[in-house]
Amino acid sequence: MSCCAPGAEMALDLVGPASILPSSQEVRLASRSLGDDLHQTDLSVPMVHCGACIQTIETALGKLDRVEAARVNLSTKRVSVQWRGGEVPPLVAVLGRLGYQAHLFEADTDAKDKTLSELIRAVAVAGFAAGNIMLLSVSVWSGADGATRDLFHWVSALIAIPALAFAGGIFFRSAWNALRHGRMNMDVPIAVGVSLAYAMSLYETITHGDHAYFDASVSLLFFLLIGRTLDHVMRERARTAVKSLSQLAARGAMVLRGDGARDYLPVGEIEPEMQLLIAAGERIPVDGKIARGTSDVDCSLVSGESTPRSVAPEDTVQAGVLNLTGSLTIEATAAAKDSFLAEMVRLMEAAEGGRAHYRRIADRVSALYAPVVHLTAFVTFLGWMVATGDWHRAMTIAIAVLIITCPCALGLAVPIVQVVAARRLFEHGIMVKDGSAMERLAAVDMAVFDKTGTLTLGQPRLVNASSIDAAMLAIAADLAAHSRHPYSKAISGFAVSSSQHKFDAVTEHPGFGIEATAAGSIWRLGRRGWAGWKARTGREGKHGYGGTVLTKNGMIVASFVFEDALRVDTKVAIDQLHNAGMRVEMLSGDTAKACAEVADVLSVDDFVPCLLPSGKVERIESLSRDGHKVLMVGDGLNDTPALSAAHVSIAPATAADIGRNAADFVFLRESLLAVPLAMNVSRNAGNLIRQNIAIAIVYNAVAVPIAILGQVTPLIAAIAMSASSLLVIGNAMRLRSSMPGSLAKEVRPSKRSEINELAQSS
């Protein structure tokens, strides 16, 4: 990192995702052509966070050959580079040298967010109209009459037309959509109220009447649009942040043709029986059978198995498996659309659980609210008709009822609470897909966790380092630095590599281990059966045939014990969930023994080992049939169907892309405390939403009788509406200042770092 130096973690701090650099062919595949031999590549660089970063990156990339322009967007943490020519400039490598990790992401076809700019334009137009009409209305209320009042009314009517047509269009379209499908949403009473108010005011203006509601109808639109825009911004920010994470699926593969030619093809064009070349460190793109080569593969994302598996010719491998040590030639046995990944997508679609039927609180309330309001207005009209026989007066009063009950507070109350809650979660590195996810999370009573990659990091940790001779550990670390096998990484990460041992000819034997010669003796680090060939006939050792050892000339000098490292704060997080009255269960594809150890340490209530992806879904479905609302937390490809079967789901940032897309929440930091925190914030938000709805109902209980009695003038309507909106906004803001509940204490210590983060990111 070139600037702002150590510990400069921002809100978007990533938990070290698999650090595989995208190859230049992948970059080429992800770039889009701007015509005239010009290409644009968008890279996500989550570590950018200050002016110096911008300058370093733009200067370094700008100096590269064939690069036309490089521009950093600090808000989205992206760099877009325009380059010419056939070959891709070494963008990712240059960024890596500067200390910035860069990821490719799905290139957007329509780069700009059309909905957001439409909403902001609508807010601007409605704000302009509301301001000016309010100004004219104030003069009318202060006593303008006769020709002046008529003039003001006419001017207001003219200003309101573009506002209704442009800003109101959003509500009219949505209301029409809902009605056409026989549903009722918040936009129906809004559309009806606003358009009737305008029509009635226009009639008043033409007949020189003294009450016009232009100000009410336009400022109503303005307030509601603010709520709508905030809601959209929240969802959009979470979506971009999740999209910017590194892509874990392979984008393409090197295909070996019969005549020896090599082509880099996108995954979609790979067909069965093609020969694919998979280098060490690459992910396998489609299901296949190994033709040549041996290696170790990491299946944790696919099956949940935490120990790497060694593979040899004739073994089958599934799409999504990571090739660790040796290069492999595989023969594809299925096209991408028939591969394991696609199978997961099908299961996922079949498993659409409670969320498909879930209706948001606001929609449920408005389904009751709208008919009641419209009925009240209609009865008022009939009542005044019968009482006075004056249809004009009856109509005016009925419309005043509609205006006063327009769900301004409701339309603003729910999104504001959710935006404030989402902001809180965002500061703690948790992304929320949408508001309904928070409402669903507040209702869960049972949490189900995946093991590998979720409760544990899926990365082995050396546990017996203290009992190993330090000199031997150093030798092992030097050897291990030559390999990318997870065990090697664990060893080299544990011991400080001294680099004082001069090894000649270090070779890696995929599936077995590393061999090196130094000063006439042969050192081997790897499987017991291979490295300790002299000891093989003797005992198998306490850790069995498969344990990892360091040998000198065939004699075992040190043996290593690994354990899957637990995610940070896992125990605390599970205790907090227990305290919150939740049952915690663990579902895993790993062996019963591995599961039992973890379950024991974490005091998980129950666990089910050796599950297939469909088994996880069945388990969740049977729990939901028993009346539980299940929260699923998982990261692997094999968890994806379960993530979408659950009532609500959370995934870590290290999850497979498809899992991240299926989950409602994504947390970016390593700590599992994100889960109870998200729960707590969601529950608080749920309480505030219910309070706000109660406030809105009380307001109506007071205002509606006044309106029915015909006492509401445009002035009273304007005051009542603004007051109720301010009240619910103020109530929503309480979520920011105070966090009632047990978690407040745990959150406080991080306050300082949170402030630093804010200072850095703004």
Task: Please give the structure tokens belonging to residue 557.
Answer: 């000098």
C-alpha span between 24 and 274 (Å, rounded): 22
C-alpha span between 185 and 367 (Å, rounded): 6
Identify the H or E element spanning 366. helix 361-388
650 binds another protein (CB under 8 A): no
C-alpha span between 166 and 174 (Å, rounded): 14
Q: Which of 298, 450, 564, 657 is catalytic?
A: 450
51 binds another protein (CB under 8 A): yes
Task: Please give the structure tokens belonging to residue 387.
Answer: 């009482």
Query: Binding residue for another protein (CB under 8 A) from 147, 356, 505, 759?
Result: 147
The DSSP bridge pattern shows strands 262-266 and 252-256 to be antiparallel
74 binds another protein (CB under 8 A): yes
SS3 content of the chain, % helix, strand, coil (to 5): 50, 15, 30
Q: Is 54 or 335 the residue whose CB approaches another protein more closely?
A: 54
- How near is the Cβ of 10 to another protein at its closest, in Å? 11
DSSP state string for 83-142: EESSSPP-HHHHHHHHT---EE-PPPSS-S-HHHHHHHHHHHHHHHHHHHHHHHHHHHHT
Query: Binding residue for another protein (CB under 8 A) from 1, 17, 128, 434?
Result: 128
C-alpha span between 101 and 47 (Å, rounded): 7
Which string of x and - marks every residue 402-441 that binds another protein (by CB under 8 A)? Answer: ----------------------------------------
Task: Please give the structure tokens belonging to residue 616.
Answer: 């996880």
Map the footprint of another protein across residues 157-216, applying CB under 8 A. Answer: 159
Q: Is 113 or 575 the residue whose CB approaches another protein more closely?
A: 113
- How near is the Cβ of 162 to another protein at its closest, in Å? 10
72 binds another protein (CB under 8 A): yes
Q: Is 112 or 593 the residue whose CB approaches another protein more closely?
A: 112
Query: Binding residue for another protein (CB under 8 A) from 117, 177, 579, 603?
Result: 117
DSSP character for 660?
H
State whether the Cα torsion 520-526-527-530 is positive or negative.
negative
Nearest to 718 by CA among 133, 185, 309, 283: 133
132 binds another protein (CB under 8 A): yes
313 binds another protein (CB under 8 A): no
DSSP state string for 537-572: TS---TT-TT-EEEEETTEEEEEE-EEEEEPTTHHH
Instruction: Give strand pairing partners of 510.
Output: none
Map the footprint of another protein across residues 664-693, applying CB under 8 A. Answer: none
292, 422, 653 from 433: Cα distances, Å: 44, 9, 13
737 binds another protein (CB under 8 A): no
736 binds another protein (CB under 8 A): no
DSSP H helices, 142-206, are 147-162, 169-180, 187-206
151 binds another protein (CB under 8 A): yes
Query: Binding residue for another protein (CB under 8 A) from 69, 161, 379, 694?
Result: 69
- How near is the Cβ of 123 to another protein at its closest, in Å? 10
759 binds another protein (CB under 8 A): no
618 binds another protein (CB under 8 A): no
| Range list of β-strands (E), 179-294 | 252-256, 262-266, 275-278, 288-292
Tell me if residue 231 is catalytic.
no
Which range, of 127-135, 246-254, 585-593, 733-741, touches another protein by CB under 8 A? 127-135
Query: Binding residue for another protein (CB under 8 A) from 8, 120, 465, 608?
Result: 120
Nearest to 50 by CA among 79, 29, 16, 74: 74
Nearest to 673 by CA among 761, 579, 607, 537: 579
79 binds another protein (CB under 8 A): no
239 binds another protein (CB under 8 A): no
Q: Is 107 or 151 the residue whose CB approaches another protein more closely?
A: 151
2 binds another protein (CB under 8 A): no
Which range, of 61-69, 224-232, 413-421, 542-550, touches another protein by CB under 8 A? 61-69
C-alpha span between 373 and 539 (Å, rounded): 83
Which range, of 122-130, 384-392, 604-612, 711-719, touches another protein by CB under 8 A? 122-130
Which range, of 71-79, 214-222, 279-287, 681-689, touches another protein by CB under 8 A? 71-79
Query: Binding residue for another protein (CB under 8 A) from 62, 169, 371, 740?
Result: 62
Q: Is 3 or 608 the residue whose CB approaches another protein more closely?
A: 3
Nearest to 129 by CA among 140, 118, 137, 119: 137
Q: What are phi and psi of 265, to 5 degrees?
A: -115, 145
C-alpha span between 390 and 489 (Å, rounded): 86
- How near is the Cβ of 145 to another protein at its closest, in Å? 12
Q: Is 132 or 275 the residue whose CB approaches another protein more closely?
A: 132
755 binds another protein (CB under 8 A): no
Q: Is 130 or 549 the residue whose CB approaches another protein more closely?
A: 130
299 binds another protein (CB under 8 A): no
68 binds another protein (CB under 8 A): yes
Residue 17 makes CB contacts below 8 A (sequence gap 6+) with 245, 246, 248, 653, 654
The contact set with another protein (CB under 8 A) reads: 50-51, 54-55, 58-59, 62-63, 67-69, 71-76, 117, 120-121, 124-125, 128, 131-132, 135, 147-148, 151, 155, 159, 761-762
Q: Which positions are catalytic?
A: 450
